A and B are shown apart, each in its own frame.
Chain A
Amino acid sequence: MTATAPALDVGLVRAQFPILSTTAHGRPLVYLDSAATTQKPRSVIERITRYYERENANIHRGVYALSAEATAMHDAARARVAAFINARHEREVIFTRGTTEGVNLVAQAWGHATLRTGDEIVVTAMEHHSNIVPWQLVAAQRGAVVRAAPVNEAGELDLDGLQRLLTKRTKMVAVVHLSNALGTINPVKRIAEMAHAAGALVLVDGAQSAAHLPVDVQEIGCDFFAFSGHKLFGPTGIGALWGREALLDRMPPWQGGGDMIGTVSMEGSTWAPLPAKFEAGTPHIAGAVGLEAAIDFLAGFDPSAVAAHEHELLAYATALVGAMPEVTLVGTAREKASVLSFTVDGVHPHDLGTVLDAEGICIRAGHHCAQPLMRRFGLVATARASFSIYNTREDVDALAAGVEKAKEMLA
């Protein structure tokens, strides 16, 4: 935490999240599962409500004003996303259901058309299943191979190990920006340079990073970047895939339907230009305007103040919970954000989760959709507390007291 970072007024932040004043099992809600999904500020909730109450119409359809306005709103939301990640152009932003769909889109639209027998896709041992399984699916279809770069004991990507996997057979490097299970921040700019030097493309899974790290796709130098709205204070069911225009232009569509076509005849069809080519069917219009409101919400804060606040919480939690003799932290990378993953001797993560739940404390317990990573550490599951802009030191104190209680009860 730098001395110059302006302090975040967490009380004012919390007042914007209606759910944070509710209770769970009669106790104030302590929400420490923002890596699973963030809570939603009133501005996002009200924006979606206003859309449905006053602005709802299908886009690209009607000649009437309401439809034209909905179309304009959807376009404006895309422009907001493009600016948020510093895309060169709005048409490089494809709306998706979320990060998972973004990765699947690239795996199918790019991978299915491009990969040949023996080609390799390199992921890392810390990937979420959604950045492993889509590649396994297309690899099986095309006779390609998925390889995983190793992770060290601290939960950091082994860059030498990654380098050794990069060969002329490597066609794609798919890597998580900020690990949901460990909190590790990967050096994606360097990874992109390494991958490009080997002639491979780079996809960055930004599901966690979009809410916690500055994202500039041109600065990172990646080819694709996927993220989700719901981990960024926005609604579920909306996200975005950014891709380089030249790549997206060459990729065939992956889903067919309305909106993605140029002309359709029974003999064959042509495709709409970007971004419509990849957006078949009526999109999640309310989700898009909700995502725009969520980005506006986050933009209302000084990024360095948010980062300092979250870093301070993580450091406090690491010291408080990590100091317990029965606790082992899983993921101690030097570059780390927002996630405290740990095990407690004699207390299974699920039992810990149940004991904490009774105290009104929400954490994630399980494999975090990262089973290969759990196996890497010889674990089946960990407990994970994750922090966001609205969390406080009192939340961390409650967590520590809950862990103590679970130890007394179960260990």
Chain B
Amino acid sequence: MSSVSELYQSVILDHNRTPRNYGRLEGDARRARGYNPLCGDECTVWLKVEGDLVADVKFEGQGCAISKASASLMTMAVKGRPVAEASALAERFHDLVTGKLDAAAQQTLPARLQVFGNVAQFPVRVKCASMPWHTLKAALAGGDAPELVELK
């Protein structure tokens, strides 16, 4: 097993202490709520789509360092991207944290997301990292109405 210091790298600790894009979007932003019934952690993602682009994204939630940093880095990674790219990135992130990407494939991801590759060594923490992305996917797929994602 990889050591905990590899899991809790400085970028994760930084985004846990000072999450970026934390808060809500007003107006006609889409909203989706993610909830992990196993641990009670939750994450709400607000999303503003203009044309094909993720114009803005914010989140709020209660969770561990992994989930909070994941949500924070996710918002930075998808903001300004085309919706299709954001969706594809969500799939790739899931592959990353479930250990399906080899080293070369990991290198093709945005640099700041690559630190989550170590999560694959901590199976019980995979859902912590993936929950914000599941919530984002729900927000991307949804219309204006709030959606609930109950993670299995």
Within 8 A of B (CB), among A335-377: 346, 348-351, 354-355, 358, 365-367, 371, 374
Assuming the contacts A366-B40, A367-B39, A367-B40, asked whether A25 and B65 have C-beta atoms less than 8 A apart, the reply is no
Give min CB distance, B49 to chain A, whole Å: 30
Chain A CB within 8 A of B47 CB: no
Assuming the contacts A351-B64, A351-B65, A354-B122, asked whether A381 and B40 have C-beta atoms less than 8 A apart, the reply is yes
Q: Flag if B1 contacts A351 (CB, 8 Å).
A: no
Q: Flag if B8 contacts A350 (CB, 8 Å).
A: no
Q: How many residues of chain A are within 8 Å of chain B by beta carbon?
A: 18
Q: Please, which residue of chain A has its CB at the minimum distance from the CB of B41?
A: A380
Q: Flag if B3 contacts A358 (CB, 8 Å).
A: yes
Q: Flag if B40 contacts A351 (CB, 8 Å).
A: no
Chain A CB within 8 A of B66 CB: yes
Chain B CB within 8 A of A409 CB: yes
Q: Please, which residue of chain A has its CB at the minimum distance from the CB of B68?
A: A348
Chain B CB within 8 A of A19 CB: no
Q: Flag if B128 contacts A350 (CB, 8 Å).
A: yes
Q: Please, which residue of chain B has its CB at the minimum distance from the CB of A381?
A: B40
Chain B CB within 8 A of A410 CB: yes
Q: Please, which residue of chain B has its CB at the minimum distance from the CB of A352?
A: B64
Q: Please, which residue of chain A has its CB at the minimum distance from the CB of B2?
A: A358
Give min CB distance, B113 to chain A, whole Å: 19
Assuming the contacts A348-B63, A410-B65, asked whether A354 and B125 have C-beta atoms less than 8 A apart, the reply is yes
Q: Flag if B39 contacts A350 (CB, 8 Å).
A: yes
Residue-by-residue, is B53-80 near A (CB-CB < 8 Å gives 1, otherwise 0)? 0000000001111100000000000000
Q: Flag if B40 contacts A374 (CB, 8 Å).
A: yes
Residues on the A chain within 8 Å of B40, using CB:
366-367, 371, 374, 380-381
A350–B41 alpha-carbon span in the complex (Å): 10
Give min CB distance, B102 to chain A, whole Å: 25
* Chain A residues at the B interface, C-beta cutoff of 8 Å: 25, 346, 348-351, 354-355, 358, 365-367, 371, 374, 380-381, 409-410
Q: Which residue from A348, A358, A374 sits with its C-beta under 8 Å from B65? A: A348
Give min CB distance, A347 to chain B, whole Å: 8
Residues on the B chain within 8 Å of A371, using CB:
40
Q: Flag if B8 contacts A351 (CB, 8 Å).
A: yes
Question: Top 7 A-B pairs ranked by shortest CB distance?
Answer: A348-B64, A350-B64, A380-B40, A358-B4, A367-B40, A351-B65, A351-B64
Chain A CB within 8 A of B89 CB: no
Contacts between chains A and B (CB distance < 8 A), count: 49
Chain A CB within 8 A of B101 CB: no
Q: Please, which residue of chain B has its CB at the minimum distance from the CB of A25?
A: B1
Q: Flag if A351 contacts B3 (CB, 8 Å).
A: no
Chain A CB within 8 A of B13 CB: yes
Residues on the A chain within 8 Å of B25, using CB:
none
Q: Please, which residue of chain A has its CB at the minimum distance from the CB of B5?
A: A409
Show 28 residue pairs from A and B whose CB-CB distance is below 8 angstroms, ordered by the A residue.
A25-B1, A348-B64, A349-B64, A350-B41, A350-B64, A350-B66, A351-B8, A351-B64, A351-B65, A354-B4, A354-B7, A354-B122, A355-B4, A355-B8, A366-B38, A366-B39, A366-B40, A367-B39, A367-B40, A371-B40, A374-B40, A380-B41, A380-B42, A381-B40, A409-B4, A409-B13, A410-B13, A410-B65
Chain A CB within 8 A of B16 CB: yes
A350–B36 alpha-carbon span in the complex (Å): 13
Residues on the A chain within 8 Å of B125, using CB:
350, 354
User: Assuming A355-B8, A366-B39, what are 7 further A-B pairs, CB within 8 angstroms?
Assistant: A348-B64, A351-B65, A371-B40, A380-B39, A380-B41, A409-B5, A410-B65
Residues on the B chain within 8 Å of A348, using CB:
63-65
Give min CB distance, B131 to chain A, whole Å: 12
Q: Please, which residue of chain A has its CB at the minimum distance from the CB of B66?
A: A351
Residue-by-residue, is B1-30 near A (CB-CB < 8 Å gives 1, otherwise 0)? 101110110000100110000000000000
A367–B38 alpha-carbon span in the complex (Å): 8
Q: Please, which residue of chain B has its CB at the minimum distance from the CB of A26?
A: B1
A366–B127 alpha-carbon span in the complex (Å): 14
Q: Flag if B65 contacts A380 (CB, 8 Å).
A: no
Residue-by-residue, is B80-99 near A (CB-CB < 8 Å gives 1, otherwise 0)? 00000000000000000000
A410–B42 alpha-carbon span in the complex (Å): 20
Give min CB distance, B83 to chain A, whole Å: 31
Residues on the B chain within 8 Å of A365, using CB:
39
Q: Please, which residue of chain A has its CB at the minimum distance from the CB of B3?
A: A358
Which one of B5, B40, B125 has the greatest number of beta carbons of chain A within 10 Å?
B40
Give min CB distance, B44 to chain A, whole Å: 14
Give min CB distance, B120 to chain A, whole Å: 14
A346–B8 alpha-carbon span in the complex (Å): 14
Give min CB distance, B22 to chain A, whole Å: 16
